[in-house]
Structure 1
């Protein structure tokens, strides 16, 4: 028929341009085209552009005066194809039978519009809720009548040009395929993706409902076994430990076969390690049924047995916060699985997992494909929608310094958060809407359709392997009981829980399905459950006498390291470097390729570094830092520096990555010291603290041989990452046996810049210090900073380092070091004694103890006043508290009073932490002073004034008071 012929050619090759030109001419002047096409184009709605894009395979842009045209010329048909003369043929067909042509083309385009509507909006009518409580409305966009079709049109063949895998089909057939594909147990959101290849890939795997009949009998039995283990574990624990909190997975058991399917598919695709992160809901189930923590061990923890060996004296944690790891073999593929520990701060583990994945990939040299190690994040629906770190983690997914080749997000969507329903939990249509920000496809699936769930899980793994991008699986299920095992959910959701009470479990439903279709017998289904219960009963009996007897936290990549002893405040860790090596690193710092166009201002900085190294004097802070990085590289350690604007440095001090002023090319001097050396990487991060600090912490967990540093643009910005600091950095070792050598660089110092850019909140870190959990320093010299950084890698243990870094001291004429202070015979000094020639120690009337930048204010004021009776002692490390070193320095000052001077208000800074510790040192000495006095700003609600004038007055007053000059 002429109508079919014209459509067949008009949708491809040169004739797409013919159709586009007709449409554009009609928009500008309707009577300029044939009357049949006038009716056709008038019938098209706002989806015309999208239909033209789908039909022609080209992107169409609006024309200046209306209509659309291809952004690039549509490729003509291959030589010899029928479309070579399509435009004249199309025109002739219109002339021969315009009415028939108009009807055929109109039917086809309307059908294409309907198909596209289902691809975009079909998920709105999908059968997703196992409880059947979701009120579903018919959407007009999915109604054929909205496109001019009537009942009389349902059985007329319509040409659809290969869409849905058919050249032509009746409207009834088209609707059957669309309903099955997009409105069944799976609802797909993918049309927001801009990459046409990704869209086409998903479309091809969803249309025609391929999950129906996709599983063999053996595969179905395996799915049922996963459901049986998931349900059986929860039922067993509920019976044996009545009322004990475990945050069970009941109602969301499909999560277990979903995660298993992801891991199996990924393993077959070449993934050798999978890192999992999740909150507490279903964690115990995941521990035993996915990551294979021994049943006997976990059951012993229900009895109160610690998860840690008796030889480790940490605090431990509740069982539903703990992690574990194991090796499994899947069809000949060995895979290492690890589940990361996580506090009750639900999504806080997300960036930690991604950072660990990145580190493992880097360690394996998988820096391009990033396919060898994969992350799986399990979320709750309310948390995925409500926690900002979810977006921060998604936002890192394609960034140069943070991408990991895609993460698979699995949402166990209970349709409730504690007692909060979706109407109160998120503003969007779905809890997963935030994932659209990074164009991640989202698969919503009915959690009681086990085969649909597993199909989607496999598809997620395949998508990640194919496109190296994030994807979301939203398993819509329910929570059979309350938030915990003592909660009564019917208080607040009576309707939901009445329906849940009468709803069979997913295992029961699937078992009945398999029996009905003949895949398994009733005896086989019951036997599966009985066998699992017998296994648990055996483990339960063995758990009565079980004791953990193995410390496995210092194995594998952590072999050779050990748990730190007591307060290692005064330890020496061999941080000095010979002078020739220091000069070699220094020379590389100032060396750039001849054809590299360096900014003239930076050229002067490089020349200054060169002169300082050659003369051995006046080495500034940034150069001292670079010497630490460079020498660690030569020791065989990689260096990773991350944070906002770290390549240049907030104060334009670092410039570790040089930018060619003509080509924008990058050059890293420290990566060009020697051939075949390890690399330093510095990444300017997205504007995030919580997510990025979590990422870098996770990186440090995976690789103890890389110096990992996170720098806050200003120190107080770390406030936004307080959960990572409190729950991971400060306490993970004692809770979870997880060491980290992460360095936090926090600019700190009072220079009249207002409350937000003065204090890094030193007091908060000190308040978290105990049990030798981390180091907190406020260093005054480049050399001491050098040794502090090198100590992170040279020690045979790992501890986080919190470093208050300077601002004005970066270029202060007194805050410099000589090359000899980095060389043989030197090391980190936790306490630096008086350096000037003042009165003999027994004649000194006052000793001022201080830390950080205020030292130089005190030093300059004392020199200006020529005061010989006041000594100034710097406490460079506050924790672990250097009691022995401080006692050694203070002992000769037999007749002096001791004061503590700080810039911060009395309720901030180090005073409340140092007060009693200094007093204890003084009481142990045979000197007059028995406790320190405080000198500094008065207590204040805000950490600093916003007035430069007031700041100067306060600073002058506290310095004068400290030196007894006022």
Structure 2
């Protein structure tokens, strides 16, 4: 039974509707007298009632002092004529037929899509479904031409069963398969229902739209065939067989522009990408053809490896219906669907920049493969972000290029559901299935999708069921694994040829006109091919638009000054420790704020959370925005941040960083994310990809949580600039440190990040002081370039008595120190026998042990930044300890952590300065298959052994 009804439907879909009570009472009275006198379904229903038959009889009996004058419809006593009983029976049957008809309508709306023949190859025909058979509901052939009361449920008070089924079949079982009845919002559901069932809906397009659709299909097909002829065997992941997806993209953009969209961000994998780059995005065909001949996509003097042509992105300004529109195709690696949340992050950033609070001016358009949509975890993770406050973008249009195969894998082996799109039902997303050869059906579905997204600001899916003309790529042999499918494909007309015949029959586009158009476009491609012979790109597609004014990083740059005047920090700190007088603050937090205020006023004892808040506040004060998301970031996993305060009486929220001054123009946007790493990190990468003047941060609950987003780290964060010339300043905060919390909550896997470091591609730090953290955050925006930043952030150091800084360390003219020399009073440098180089939390374990032992002939140097490796700074510090043995100490196991990364670099530094020690020896935990032990007792034993080795 469905849960949301119009009242006119309710009385027809349930016999328990209040107005039917007299009728049901009569039926029950008949049942008591003679159970066999009522329909079997009513017998079963009344049999399960707990009321006493005697009580029911009394309810029907008149009072002893007054004869009963029963006015119940159809009521009769035993003295009344049999004709009345026949009339009552007839009335009951009419109501039962009405109820059956309504159930049938419901079935068509819910399941009519099962009877649509989506497959252009007609390999699998629709199967019989009993719920779409009128006989299932007790109706017979005799009822086909009888009028049945349906109460305007289909726009008529009465209709024959034959007309009902004909109407429903034309709307739900012919060309479009529509899934929407699971939507809980009645307005949305009725809107779609009206669009589908309205009398004027015959999939008709204007003549102009029909011609555009045909020529979209034609250009897509001719270009693919041209590439196939000119560059036989070259990989291009052809769209042939699914050209309708190109037309759908074109019309999705066109219709969306009419609803106020001014920018479109597109994400897609390989198939059809070359056509999208040229036809949709406007990349010159000669530039694309030159790349097929081996020319680089960027100037030859740029020292980057680049990427294959079917991964590249681009952007352009186009004019649609007199409106200037910016289009952007996001670069995508071979890891399918990874781009999804990155596109949405870009969309959100663009909307924020435009102050588009209605989320209507910037559209995300995602193109998927069928096997990938059903199989890749990025898809549901991204879908689940769609209606969350911190990630809402006003809805995404999803287009699935459904080739009915994944490389060589059939759908029966690729998913457990009927459709590849079924995962979208989890967010009550409407889904349209359409035959890839039905151009007008595709455009009609696209038109509804654009309007639905504009009206309801929600996602919608168009599943274009088509085929791929060749194998997974053009060098693959598909007959090995799908011989029947590819026999059909070999004899199948192209979508443009099929549609040309249809428009020819309508007298709209003649066969000659169609052939001439193909010939002219082929001639145009010949001209572009000639241009490509001498084409060489003279400028790179980067550092434009929002990135104008940024420069490639200079390796010889001086350290950026990131300090702030102490008086400014104290003023900001006062606001950070304040809250409204009528705000019911938690007593524990109130004490924390008082302590924080005192440390800021005295300029001493600044802890980690306070340094972070001061970094954020000073950046906001400088006119930058700060965006931070992740699991439980408002409070902080370790209850240290409290960036948002919660009223203890009404749970209203107060954010001190957004109340720094009365004329504050920028702000902190902070959101607790859903329990996702892959999609959320990708979203924030996309945001930073687009908005260079916002400090964008993703924080993991523990550092190892980044493992769930490893593809984002590998394919985008570490290599996006090298492959696609796309800078990014995303910050990852990854809690790290061995504290006896077990294998999963000790290590952020420093070694994995360091393996990815090369060519100055990103920064990896393991700060030991709040001041270092303060500077490294500010440094992200105090530069004329952007690089991703990975911070091995602490846990126990958040409250460690020695892990504090003074404001003097953050004062103006101060900067981040990648290497910190020994700071305690110990033996003179020439008498130092050991130099321990370390990083992060282990420094405090070492200094406390040294103080306990009084081992003043051991110097401890901190490496605050792993990469870019600070060779110059390390050399400047270590050269004065020329008589000492050099050691690298880490708390991670030998096969983990930074040892194998830093060891050859330290060796080179020692060589460069002519140090007496030639190599740094290792001190730390032994090799292990697991990141850490699972018991605190074992952890303490390991730490004790490490310290004994250092001070032995």
| Cα distance in 1, alignment partners of residues 40 and 155 from structure 2 | 25
1:612 aligned onto 2:603: no
Q: Out of 820, 824, 835, which is 2:812 matched to? A: 824
In the superposition, relative to structure 1, how do residues 633 and 726 fare at CA in structure 2: closer, same or farther (>3 Å)? Answer: same
| Cα distance in 2, alignment partners of residues 468 and 273 from structure 1 | 16
Segments of 5+ residues of structure 2 without an aligned counterpart are 1-6, 52-68, 77-83
Matches within 5 A, 1:635-784: 635-675=622-662, 676-784=664-772
1:588 aligned onto 2:575: yes
In the superposition, relative to structure 1, how do residues 806 and 37 fare at CA in structure 2: closer, same or farther (>3 Å)? Answer: farther
Q: Out of 281, 297, 307, which is 2:271 matched to? A: 281
Match of 1:597 in 2: 584
Match of 1:83 in 2: none
1:419 aligned onto 2:408: yes
| Cα distance in 2, alignment partners of residues 563 and 814 from structure 1 | 38
CA offsets 1:420-472 (integer angstroms, 9 cap, x no match): 00000000111111111101011111111110011001111111111111111
Q: Out of 838, 843, 863, which is 1:855 matched to? A: 843
Match of 2:785 in 1: 797
Counterpart contact for 2:298–2:541, Cα < 8 Å = no
Counterpart contact for 1:641–1:683, Cα < 8 Å = yes
Match of 1:357 in 2: 347
In the superposition, relative to structure 1, how do residues 929 and 236 fare at CA in structure 2: closer, same or farther (>3 Å)? Answer: same
Q: For 1:593, what is the secondary structure of its paired residue? A: coil
Q: For 2:123, what is the secondary structure of its paired residue? A: coil
| Cα distance in 2, alignment partners of residues 255 and 143 from structure 1 | 34
1:547 aligned onto 2:536: yes
Give the C-alpha shift of residue 274 in structure 1. 0.7
| Cα distance in 1, alignment partners of residues 656 and 375 from structure 2 | 43
1:437 aligned onto 2:426: yes
Match of 2:899 in 1: 911
Give the C-alpha shift of residue 164 in structure 1. 2.3
Instruction: Tell me which moved more, 137-146 or 902-911.
Output: 137-146
| Cα distance in 1, alignment partners of residues 49 and 598 from structure 2 | 62
Match of 1:928 in 2: 916
In the superposition, relative to structure 1, how do residues 653 and 38 fare at CA in structure 2: closer, same or farther (>3 Å)? Answer: farther
Match of 1:18 in 2: 18
| Cα distance in 2, alignment partners of residues 485 and 89 from structure 1 | 81
Instruction: Tell me which moved more, 639-648 or 310-319.
Output: 310-319
Give the C-alpha shift of residue 210 in structure 1. 5.2
Segments of 5+ residues of structure 1 without an aligned counterpart are 1-6, 46-61, 66-87
| Cα distance in 1, alignment partners of residues 33 and 288 from structure 2 | 76
Q: Out of 458, 474, 479, which is 1:469 matched to? A: 458
1:621 aligned onto 2:608: yes
Match of 1:54 in 2: none
Q: For 2:781, what is the secondary structure of its paired residue? A: helix
Matches within 5 A, 1:342-353: 342-353=332-343
| Cα distance in 2, alignment partners of residues 914 and 379 from structure 1 | 42
Counterpart contact for 2:886–2:917, Cα < 8 Å = yes
Match of 1:517 in 2: 506
Give the C-alpha shift of residue 503 in structure 1. 1.0
In the superposition, relative to structure 1, how do residues 802 and 29 fare at CA in structure 2: closer, same or farther (>3 Å)? Answer: farther
Give the C-alpha shift of residue 107 in structure 1. 2.3
Match of 2:122 in 1: 132
Structure-2-length-normalised TM-score: 0.93
Q: For 2:913, what is the secondary structure of its paired residue? A: coil
In the superposition, relative to structure 1, how do residues 819 and 37 fare at CA in structure 2: closer, same or farther (>3 Å)? Answer: farther
Give the C-alpha shift of residue 927 in structure 1. 2.7
Counterpart contact for 1:211–1:451, Cα < 8 Å = no
Give the C-alpha shift of residue 104 in structure 1. 2.8
Give the C-alpha shift of residue 327 in structure 1. 1.1
Match of 2:254 in 1: 264
Q: Out of 384, 401, 404, which is 2:393 matched to? A: 404
CA offsets 1:73-113 (integer angstroms, 9 cap, x no match): xxxxxxxxxxxxxxx99955788742443233222221111
In the superposition, relative to structure 1, how do residues 21 and 807 fare at CA in structure 2: closer, same or farther (>3 Å)? Answer: farther
1:302 aligned onto 2:292: yes
CA offsets 1:892-921 (integer angstroms, 9 cap, x no match): 112111110000111111110001111111
| Cα distance in 1, alignment partners of residues 844 and 9 from structure 2 | 82
Q: For 2:856, what is the secondary structure of its paired residue? A: coil
Counterpart contact for 1:22–1:33, Cα < 8 Å = no
Match of 2:364 in 1: 375
Note the aligned Cα RMSD (angstroms). 2.4
| Cα distance in 1, alignment partners of residues 168 and 37 from structure 2 | 28
| Cα distance in 1, alignment partners of residues 919 and 743 from structure 2 | 30
Give the C-alpha shift of residue 17 in structure 1. 4.5
Counterpart contact for 1:26–1:38, Cα < 8 Å = no
Instruction: Tell me which moved more, 137-146 or 447-456.
Output: 137-146
| Cα distance in 2, alignment partners of residues 586 and 23 from structure 1 | 75
